[in-house]
């Protein structure tokens, strides 16, 4: 590849709309361009990086015994109605009608389509196990597409689906995928961690997410410092039960708290700690049928956060969202900050509380009236709740649910998610097979996703500096860039051309920078593009026969006679590959 003929439209300015570094660098390095919100064109170098990921994924999926196929992106609504997901999936599912008025949707995931295929073809245990996968563009009408390839509306996913005769076999299939994922992300050169995860709208019995560790990650992980426990905070259960407070209950007392709406302000004003306050939050909930909308009041201790995924699971909701101030007022007639559980029952509002609230005594809540709070409030004596459950996010002071050890929290980017589905889909879609004993049984399923395009963004979040991308060797669009720094010098040009052909002959992917640009500009672009090895062929070649090689990752520069360059680079590329394999 010659740079002069390659379409890599790099940008000098920092794109204003890009909030995270991977988005900025993918735009600046000429890897992607935006078509519309969350929808991108992959330019040649962006596509090359994506193809690298795909190749690793294909090799490991095939090695694990999965077979590739390709399913349609446009799916009939009726199939989705069989599982109830046409209604339940929410607005991320893009629904539309064709010219014959037939309802359809763009595939955000393919459980329905694959289950339909398999129920039509698989009759007997002899045809099992089966693991089928595809690599394809998915469409999800995300509410907040952002961060470039990290959260697109159209993005590339690998999705696999396994079918087994019983639970034991299904667990083996799951473990095979777990192991394949470990190899995939290791080979991609990423630092990652597998964590326990919520099963979400896909349903099913258990699941793991694979998280690339990066500060910009949208997910928070609770990780035990003493044992192997690691979980998405959406999932991390709070095991230690709060100790019941045995203090005698005092008489409720209404106190004036003028202008004090925030927890901190109220606590300061009343001279109490937030552990003695219960906040009341209003959520707008969309029911499991995807239709019914209703508000719910949620009670948690003043210093805690509601974990919305736990709340969603408790309510079996399709979707939920914290109500804004004005909506809170419209629903309850009380300004935010002064809301409390007492009197809410009269509003026919469902009230649920975090477990911790049940153990609290004589706490403070909003009085349901502007500028007032109530002291010495107690659950059951003063108000009732429809449900008491683990609804809060695990906090730094919570012990590890497994070993009781200390927990830490880190950020991660979800690049893969595996689910044990069980019979969630096969039961509703009647995907059955005949077992040894002649009995008809539902297929036991699993599903396994990888965000192919998101991996490229995650790799950049984890590997970059102020000058640009630092691609892991395995994901770089090309491994080597040769800078011809003496375009008008016949000796230099001949040497650069020779190295270019020699490296290509050895199967190394090379970009030859043959542009009529100043050296400074060439250095800048090479850094920006993130190509692992930069070969500088310039004045020193003529005088001393020396070529410089610079490693993008650590800036290490070595000088070599030009006839040693190919062997050196082949060795470096092999070392980068094997170091990753061993990790
Ligand atoms: P998230 O919680 O980030 O929305 P998800 O749980 O909805 O992800 P899955 O349904 O498990 O994701 O999809 C499989 C994989 O596809 C994810 O692990 C992620 O890597 C990728 N992915 C999901 N949504 C997007 C998106 N909007 N843009 C890019 N990649 C995505
Ligand atoms: Mg999602």
Q: pTM for this structure? A: 0.92
Q: Is the CB of 416 under 6 A from ligand 1?
A: yes
Report the distance separating Cα 115 and Cα 429, nearest Å: 7
Location of each CATH 3.40.50.800 domain in the chain: 478-582
Question: Which residue's CA is minimally distant from atom 27 of ligand 1?
Answer: 151
> In which region does residue 453 sit, left (phi positive, over 0), alpha (psi from -120 to 50) or beta (all else)?
alpha
The answer to whether 481 and 156 have CB atoms below 8 angstroms apart is: no
Q: Is the CB of 152 under 6 A from ligand 1?
A: yes
Q: Quote the ligand 2 centre to 92 CA distance (angstroms).
A: 8
Q: Where are the alpha helices (DSSP H) in 349-478?
A: 355-358, 424-428, 452-462
Q: Is the CB of 217 under 6 A from ligand 1?
A: no
Report the distance separating Cα 316 and Cα 305, nearest Å: 20
Predicted pLDDT of residue 243: 78
Q: Rg of the chain's alpha carbons, rounded to an integer?
A: 29
Report the distance separating Cα 132 and Cα 62, nearest Å: 10
Location of each CATH 3.90.960.10 domain in the chain: 253-389
Give Cβ neighbours of residue 436 (< 8 Å, ≥ 6 apart): 125
Report the distance separating Cα 296 and Cα 294, nearest Å: 7
Question: From the alpha carbon of 140, which atom of ligand 1 is closest?
Answer: 27
Both structure tokens of 437? 């004993």
Question: From the alpha carbon of 449, which atom of ligand 1 is closest?
Answer: 14
Report the distance separating Cα 147 and Cα 144, nearest Å: 10
The answer to whether 366 and 373 have CB atoms below 8 angstroms apart is: yes
Q: Is the CB of 155 under 6 A from ligand 1?
A: yes
The answer to whether 108 and 80 have CB atoms below 8 angstroms apart is: no
Place of tokens 């009781």: 404
Q: Is the CB of 142 under 6 A from ligand 1?
A: yes
DSSP letters along 236-280, please?
Answer: ----SPPPPP-SPPPPPEEEE-TT--SHHHHHHHHT--GGGBEEE
Q: In this structure, what is the dihedral angle of CA atoms 56, 60, 61, 62, given to the nearest 10 degrees?
A: 110
Looking from the CA of 28 toward its CB, the CA atoms found within 13 Å total 25
Q: Quote the ligand 2 centre to 142 CA distance (angstroms).
A: 7
The answer to whether 442 and 431 have CB atoms below 8 angstroms apart is: yes
**Considering only CA atoms, which of 294, 288, 328 is closest in space to residue 312?**
288
Q: Quote the ligand 2 centre to 212 CA distance (angstroms).
A: 16
CA distances from 318 to 197, 205, 392, 534 (A): 18, 18, 19, 51
Predicted pLDDT of residue 244: 78
Q: Is the CB of 92 under 6 A from ligand 1?
A: no
The answer to whether 391 and 304 have CB atoms below 8 angstroms apart is: no
Question: From the alpha carbon of 415, which atom of ligand 1 is closest?
Answer: 20
Report the distance separating Cα 86 and Cα 95, nearest Å: 9
What is the full per-residue pLDDT of the chain (583 aa) written as tens digits? 999 999 999 998 888 889 899 999 999 999 999 999 999 999 999 999 999 999 999 999 999 999 999 999 999 999 999 999 998 888 899 999 999 999 999 999 999 999 999 999 999 999 999 999 999 999 999 998 999 999 999 999 999 999 999 999 999 999 999 999 999 999 999 999 999 998 765 556 789 999 999 998 999 999 999 999 999 999 998 886 777 788 899 999 999 999 999 999 999 999 999 999 999 999 999 988 778 899 999 999 999 999 999 999 999 988 899 999 999 999 999 999 999 999 776 788 899 999 999 999 999 999 999 999 999 999 999 999 999 999 999 998 899 998 989 999 999 999 999 999 999 999 999 999 999 999 999 999 999 999 999 999 999 999 999 999 999 999 999 999 999 999 999 999 999 999 999 999 999 999 999 999 999 999 999 999 999 999 999 988 888 889 999 999 999 999 999 999 999 999 999 988 876 655 4
Q: Quote the ligand 2 centre to 132 CA distance (angstroms).
A: 22
Predicted pLDDT of residue 580: 66
Q: Is the CB of 140 under 6 A from ligand 1?
A: yes
137, 140, 417, 450, best to mutate for ligand 1 pocket (most atoms within 8 Å of CB): 417
* Residue 90 β-bridge partners: none
- The CATH topology of domain 253-389 is YbaK protein (3.90.960)
54, 234, 414, 420, best to mutate for ligand 1 pocket (most atoms within 8 Å of CB): 414
Pick the CATH number of 478-582 from 3.40.140.10, 3.40.50.300, 3.40.50.800, 2.40.50.100: 3.40.50.800
Q: Quote the ligand 1 centre to 108 CA distance (angstroms).
A: 10
The answer to whether 510 and 534 have CB atoms below 8 angstroms apart is: no
Q: Is the CB of 284 under 6 A from ligand 1?
A: no
Question: Which residue's CA is minimally distant from atom 18 of ligand 1?
Answer: 416
Question: From the alpha carbon of 151, which atom of ligand 1 is closest?
Answer: 28
- The CATH topology of domain 14-185+425-461 is BirA Bifunctional Protein; domain 2 (3.30.930)
Segment holding 163, helix H or strand E: strand 154-164
Q: Is the CB of 415 under 6 A from ligand 1?
A: yes
Q: Is the CB of 89 under 6 A from ligand 1?
A: no
Predicted pLDDT of residue 200: 65
- Cis ω on the peptide bond leading into residue 129 (within 30° of 0)? yes
- 3 state SS for 76-140: EHHHHHHCCHHHHCCCCCCEEECCCCCEEEECCCCHHHHHHHHHHHCCEHHHCCEEEEEEEEEEC
Q: Is the CB of 454 under 6 A from ligand 1?
A: yes
Report the distance separating Cα 496 and Cα 418, nearest Å: 47
Instruction: Tell me which ligand sits closest to the C-alpha of residue 454.
Output: 1
Location of each CATH 3.30.930.10 domain in the chain: 14-185+425-461
Report the distance separating Cα 513 and Cα 2, nearest Å: 6
Q: Is the CB of 200 under 6 A from ligand 1?
A: yes
Q: In this structure, what is the dihedral angle of CA atoms 300, 304, 309, 312, given to the nearest 10 degrees?
A: 10
Predicted pLDDT of residue 139: 98
Question: Which residue's CA is minimally distant from atom 4 of ligand 1?
Answer: 151
Question: From the alpha carbon of 200, which atom of ligand 1 is closest?
Answer: 6
């Amino acid at each position: 590849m010659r740079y002069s003929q390659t379409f890599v439209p790099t940008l000098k300015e920092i794109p204003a709309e890009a909030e995270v570094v991977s988005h900025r660098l993918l735009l600046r390095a000429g890897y992607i361009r935006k078509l519309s919100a969350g929808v991108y064109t992959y330019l040649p170098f962006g596509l090359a990086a994506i193809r690298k990921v795909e190749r690793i994924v294909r090799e490991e999926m095939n090695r694990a015994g999965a077979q590739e196929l390709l399913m349609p992106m446009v799916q009939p609504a009726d199939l989705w109605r069989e599982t109830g997901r046409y209604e339940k999936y929410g607005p991320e599912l893009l629904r539309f009608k064709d010219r014959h008025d037939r309802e359809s949707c763009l595939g955000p995931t393919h459980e329905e389509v694959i289950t339909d295929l398999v129920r039509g073809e698989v009759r007997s245990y002899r045809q099992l196990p089966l693991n089928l996968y595809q690599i394809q563009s998915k469409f999800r009408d995300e509410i907040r597409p952002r961060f470039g390839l990290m959260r697109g509306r159209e993005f590339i996913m690998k999705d696999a689906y396994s079918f087994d005769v019983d639970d034991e076999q299904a667990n083996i299939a799951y473990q095979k995928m777990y192991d394949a994922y470990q190899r995939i992300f290791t080979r991609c050169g990423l630092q990652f961690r597998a964590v326990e995860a919520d099963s979400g709208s896909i349903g099913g019995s258990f699941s793991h997410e694979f998280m690339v560790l990066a500060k910009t990650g949208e997910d928070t992980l609770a990780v035990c410092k003493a044992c192997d426990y690691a979980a998405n905070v959406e999932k991390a259960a709070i095991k230690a039960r709060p100790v019941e407070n045995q203090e005698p209950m005092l008489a409720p007392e209404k106190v004036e708290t003028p202008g004090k709406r925030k927890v901190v302000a109220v606590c300061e004003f009343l001279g109490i700690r937030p552990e003695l306050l219960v906040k009341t939050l209003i959520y707008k909930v969309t029911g499991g049928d995807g239709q019914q909308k209703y508000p719910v009041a949620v009670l948690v201790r003043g210093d805690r956060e509601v974990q919305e995924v736990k709340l969603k699971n408790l309510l079996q909701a399709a979707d939920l969202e914290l109500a804004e101030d004005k909506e809170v007022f419209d629903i309850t007639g009380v300004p935010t900050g002064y809301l409390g559980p007492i009197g809410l029952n009269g509003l026919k509002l469902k009230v649920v509380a975090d477990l911790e609230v049940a153990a609290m005594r004589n706490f403070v809540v909003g009085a349901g009236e502007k500028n007032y709070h109530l002291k010495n409030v107690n659950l059951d004596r003063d108000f009732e709740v429809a449900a008491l459950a683990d609804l809060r996010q695990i906090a730094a002071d919570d012990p590890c649910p497994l070993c009781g050890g200390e927990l830490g929290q880190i950020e991660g980017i979800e690049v893969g998610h595996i689910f044990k589905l069980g019979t969630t889909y096969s039961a509703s879609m009647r995907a059955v097979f005949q077992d040894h004993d002649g009995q008809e049984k539902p297929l036991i399923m699993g599903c396994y996703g990888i965000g192919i395009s998101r991996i490229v963004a995650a790799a950049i979040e984890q590997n970059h500096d102020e000058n640009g991308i630092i691609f892991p060797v395995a994901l770089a669009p090309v491994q080597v860039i040769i800078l011809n720094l003496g375009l008008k010098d016949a000796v230099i040009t001949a040497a650069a051309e020779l190295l270019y052909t020699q490296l290509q002959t050895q199967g190394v992917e090379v970009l030859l920078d043959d542009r009529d640009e100043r050296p400074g500009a060439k250095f800048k672009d090479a850094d920006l593009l993130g190509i692992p090895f930069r070969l500088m062929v310039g004045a020193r070649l003529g005088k001393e026969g020396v070529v410089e090689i610079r490693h993008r990752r650590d800036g290490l520069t070595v000088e070599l006679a030009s006839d040693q360059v190919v062997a050196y680079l082949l060795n470096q590329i092999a070392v980068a590959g094997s170091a990753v394999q061993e990790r």
